[in-house]
Amino acid sequence: MIPLKDINPTKNFPFVNVMLISANVLVFLYQVTLSPHAAKAFLLANATIPARIPAFLAGHAPASMALFPLFSSMFLHGGLMHLLGNMLFLYIFGDNVEDAFGHIGYLFFYLLCGIGSGLIHVMFNWGSGIPALGASGAISGVMGAYAVMFPKHQILTFFLIFLIPVPAILILGYWFVLQFVAGINGLGMATAGGVAWWAHIGGFLMGVVIAWATKKR
């Protein structure tokens, strides 16, 4: 199942969501202009590397090297398909969440979920030297918030050869179960790169909790 568009019009133009998508695209375009050596150096300087956190806590690494990448890594992507997949989900779900939180509130929410999901990834990969990058942790938070705020709204979904409307809670619930099962299966295994499952899980749950608390108020 591939979600393509939500049938959920917004009241206001999603300035922040458009800005975030644009920022991700521009950083990726900058990445592809770099030589292989410069691209590797840029990635290592700005991606989240879990081992740097315990090194910082032990006094062996500067705070800028350990903590700043929790922010900068949200705007890096490992390839075109990685970027397009993330931006599709941000395009589908971000505008309505921005409508609900307001422009400034949405920006803080997005960054909080991104940094928080990065820290959760570090906790589950303590000591790993493998770089983690991508906006998926922050976008997972957006998806969690959408599931709470708009569970019954329809998502136009490509399924086999058909386009069908599916309630958001089914799409997002199915997605979360896949992430959770993959995360559980990866526990206790040596880190080998790939998908940061626990960043997805943590970001989604952060989005759920924040949206639930906001909705309750």
The residue type at 144: G
Q: What percent of the chain has pLDDT over 90?
A: 81
Mean pLDDT of the chain: 92
Give the percent of the chain with pLDDT over 70: 96
Higher pLDDT, 196 or 93: 93
User: pLDDT for 103-148, tens place per residue?
Assistant: 999 999 999 999 999 999 999 998 889 999 999 999 999 999 999 9
Helices marked H in the chain: 15-33, 36-46, 52-57, 63-67, 69-72, 80-101, 103-124, 136-149, 168-186, 197-216
| Domains along the chain with CATH numbers | 2-216 (1.20.1540.10)
Whether residue 153 is predicted with pLDDT greater than 60 in this model: the reply is yes
**Does residue 53 carry a pLDDT above 80?**
yes
Tell me which H or E stretch contains 6: strand 2-7
Q: Could you give the C-alpha distances from 84 to 46, 63, 77, 168, 212, in angstroms and in order? A: 20, 31, 10, 20, 29
* Higher per-residue confidence, 195 vs 4: 4
Q: How much is the pLDDT for 79? A: 92
Taking alpha carbons only, the member of 131, 129, 141, 128 closest to residue 43 is 131
pLDDT at 34 over 90: yes
Query: 192 pLDDT band (50/70/90 cuts)?
Result: very low
In the structure, what pLDDT confidence band is assigned to residue 8 with cuts at 50, 70 and 90? Answer: confident
**What average pLDDT does this structure show over 67-93?**
96
For residues 72-95, give the mean pLDDT: 96
